[in-house]
Amino acid sequence: CDLHQGNGTAFIFQEDRSVFTFSIHQENLYPVKEKSDLDIGLPDFTGDEEYSTKLSSELRQIWQSFEPDIVYYLAGADPYEDDQLGQLKLTKAGLKKRDNWVISKCLEKKVPLVILLAGGYAFRVEDTVDIHCHTCRIATMLFGRPLS
């Protein structure tokens, strides 16, 4: 869930049927795209509602067809509306909703989860830090361990 497609990950696992790669990203942005198992290229200026609807719909379908042993979740901060590089327009509330949905679904399915913080080129570095901190707070809250 980043501004850019996970093209390196997609390339590495293209032929590995035991790994399901999913990328939701801004379509009209570098890098050169590789083929993931599921790529959702979003148009410029996609906001919270469209992003959330698309993400939850696609993840529901993935969960029905693939039972992972572990999930690696790349929680990118760069879909943020004030990011310098991209044109997605997610608010901090929208990014919190994204994190909450992904983390909650993994807990519900009892699938181990690795959260990777990535990206974030907001004009104010404090916004990027805030987004990453919220990801950590949501995870610790949902796992029942408050972050001090």
- CATH code at position 19: 3.40.800.20
- Neighbouring residues of 61: CB distance < 8 A, sequence distance ≥ 6: none
Residue 148 maps to a domain? no
Whole-angstrom distance, CA of residue 98 vs CA of residue 86 = 18
Residue 106 maps to a domain? yes
pTM of full prediction above 0.85: yes
CA 49-53-59 angle, 5° bins? 145
Q: Which residues pair with 128 in a beta bridge?
A: none
Task: Name the pLDDT band for 32 (thresholds 50, 70, 90).
Answer: confident
Q: In this predicted structure, what is the pLDDT of residue 146? A: 62
Helix or strand holding residue 50 (H, E): helix 48-65
Residues of the domain holding 44: 7-142
Q: What is the DSSP letter of 43?
A: P
Residue 1 maps to a domain? no
Nearest by Cα to 48 from 5, 80, 76, 84: 80
Residue 126 maps to a domain? yes
Residue 43 maps to a domain? yes
The domain tally of the chain equals: 1
Residue 54 maps to a domain? yes
pLDDT in tens, 98-139: 999 999 999 999 999 999 999 999 999 999 999 999 999 999
Nearest by Cα to 63 from 110, 95, 118, 16: 110
Q: At residue 148, does pLDDT exceed 70?
A: no
Residue matched to tokens 């399915």: 109
Residue matched to tokens 């408050």: 146
Residue 147 maps to a domain? no
Mean pLDDT on 28-54: 94
Residue 2 maps to a domain? no
Q: What is the DSSP letter of 122?
A: B
